[in-house]
Amino acid sequence: MLELPEKLQKALSNCSTLPSAPGAVFEILELCRESDISIAKVAKILSRDPALTAKTLTVANSPLFGVRAQVTTVDRAVALLGINATLSFALSFVLVRSLRKLQKDRFDHPAFWRRSAIAAVAARTLGTYTSKTQSDELFLAGLLQDIGMLALNESVPNLYRPLTASGKWEHSAIVEAERQAVGTDHAAVSAWLLHRWNLPEEYWRAAAGSHEPESAEGKDKNFVQTAALASSVAEIWMRQQNATAAADAARMSVLLFQTPPKVFEAKLREIALALPEATKNLDIDLGGEEKIFQLFDQARETLVSLTLQIQQQARDLESLSHRDALTSLYNRAYLDEALPSLFDKSVASGQPLSVVFLDLDHFKRVNDTYGHHVGDQVLIAVAHLIQGALRGDDIVARYGGEEFVCLLPDTDEAGAVLVAERLRASIAARTVATDDGHNVNVTISAGCATRSARRQFADMNDLLRFADQCLYAAKGAGRNRVATLDSIAPN
């Protein structure tokens, strides 16, 4: 995971201006590793850094916490924020303050820090429903997952200059340029650098997996995938035309966490609300609240459209699950769902319900003579003929093999026999021309059973069973004919 191309690793190792973590970071990290951390100890470390002390007090007094009396001591601020949140914020602030000193004209530093800050806020917000207990740690993971870009900018001269000059400062374009130039991308470099800084494993694993989150596994899987999703979300606020970014992020959320678009939209709103205060605390300018919510509104429009697409896809998938793959008729599973409802409706209304069971005669001979490929073409042709002969409210399903079932609501026995005879005659008169030049003739046998005032069946299975008995009576009588209960057992 931490292996880099040899030439790149040498360039990074020999770079005298490679980003390094300030001493305060290591002090804070040592605190993070302690099993029993006291508020007093955390406050003592923070108090050594005046700027960090001021920022900690600012955060504690922000509207986010709604304190009634002003917080004036670091101890009180740590108690209010919580130790984990305080340490995560302290690490983030110290690292951003230190690393922002690396200002060179060939790299879009403002864009880099805007994106990093958005990813941090997004990771913390998304973490409330993906990783649960690690939302504070996710803030830092989101902030640092692209840190390898700073290292690459220092060690590979002019790597980013063409992108900066062209204005194509989009994440996908950056990754592509990196891979072409050095054989890897900043995700791998970020992981290498964070490991070099001796940060906890989950941070460099999150960085390493940020571009391939679907491959994440093990105990840090949710942590890695949440940080990666946060990176995708950050693109929504980085592009003027952000419809594609919103759609990409929503799809990733569905893929990784099965998040419905409506839930994802709600999370985006939470992120938008949190961005102004959180980025102000890091001294990063996103262009004001109006800009933040303008981009959120654009993203929301895309999500509404995406929701409709997903709903239609779900309907299409449901429809496909009810269809026979060969003939496109309904399948037996759908028949098992539809028949009970129609039977109950017939009982309640007193209107008749007929079932016609159809079976191709001697179909095994077709397969044995011409092969299954021709047999399939015959089944498709017969299915289309049956479908075309029925009314809009009628249902035809492939029951299995060469068997078909027609459900005819509001149709008495005489009407069912008329339909069955019409189908039998049409199929007997039809020659199926196959794509390899064969002309095949087939016939069908049919059995009809009708639930009516004259004949009451126990349930829909009973109705289907009697239609099947009539079918086999037709076959026994010589095939290519229609049989009914009256013809085999008149009463």
Using one digit for the tens of pLDDT, what is the confidence trace for 220-243?
A: 899 999 999 999 989 888 876 677
Domain boundaries, the chain: 6-19+102-316, 332-488
Selected residue with higher pLDDT from 232 and 106? 232
Domain 6-19+102-316 has CATH 1.10.3210: yes
Q: Is the pLDDT of residue 98 over 80?
A: no
- The yes-or-no answer to whether 6-19+102-316 and 332-488 have a common fold is no
Of the listed ranges 99-108, 225-234, 389-398, the one predicted with least confidence = 99-108
Domain 332-488 superfamily per CATH = Reverse transcriptase/Diguanylate cyclase domain (3.30.70.270)
**Looking up tokens 């004001």, which residue turns up?**
288
Using one digit for the tens of pLDDT, what is the confidence trace for 266-277?
A: 888 888 888 887
Using one digit for the tens of pLDDT, what is the confidence trace for 457-478?
A: 889 999 999 999 999 999 999 9
Name residue 406's beta-bridge partners: 356, 396
Q: Is the pLDDT of residue 366 over 80?
A: yes
* pTM over cut 0.85: no
As a whole number, mean pLDDT of residues 375-384 equals 93
As a whole number, mean pLDDT of residues 420-425 equals 94
Average pLDDT, the chain: 83
Selected residue with higher pLDDT from 317 and 474? 474
